[in-house]
Amino acid sequence: MSTSTYLAYDYPLLSMFWTLLWFFLWIMWFVLLFRIIGDIFRDDSLSGWGKTGWLVFCIVLPFLGVFVYLIARGKDMGRREIEHSQAQQRAFDDYVRDRAGESKPSSSAEELAKLSEMRSHGDITDDEFRRAKDLVLSGAGPSARTGSTTDS
């Protein structure tokens, strides 16, 4: 056997380095493969047959399929990822706004009903209720004072 064959085993630290390097490359390969499979399913411009073709190509010939996919469609992968992230962020922001009660009530009657309920639970005093009721009836209620705060 040649000297280069024994090199990794003569120096255990080098053997460990090569093992970690191959393990890292193996993990990165699977991350790349799963990202490409996710991108195939996320892409709305591909037809069902197109998605099936790319998926079969990436599964049957994984190295060649992944490299060809990256060359042919890799540029748009980033754009689709950004669009997907922005859509998720918009959905999250809408959910938070809805849960936080930022959406304004549809009428002053609803605001008065909420104020009445708060007074009956003891959350606000009678004086606070009267002041808030005057604001709502004058058209300068909480929704009118804050205005439109949505940036979207």
**Phi/psi zone of residue 115: left (φ > 0), alpha (ψ -120 to 50 degrees), beta?**
alpha
Residue 103 has pLDDT above 70, yes or no: no
CA 134 → CA 41, 118, 142, distances in Å? 55, 16, 11
Can you tell me the mean pLDDT for 10-15? 74
pLDDT at position 148: 43
Sorted by sequence, the CB contacts under 8 Å of residue 55 that are 6+ apart come out as 37, 40
CA-based Rg of the chain, rounded to a whole angstrom? 30
Can you tell me the mean pLDDT for 114-129? 88
Residue of higher predicted confidence among 64 and 8: 64
Residue 2 has pLDDT above 70, yes or no: no
Residue environment code for 32-71, b if the CB has 16+ CB neighbours within 10 A, otherwise e? ebeebbebbeeeeebeeeeeeebbebbeeeeeebbeebee
pLDDT at position 112: 85
Structure tokens belonging to residue 58: 């990436």
- Its pTM stands at 0.52
Structure tokens belonging to residue 8: 């990794």
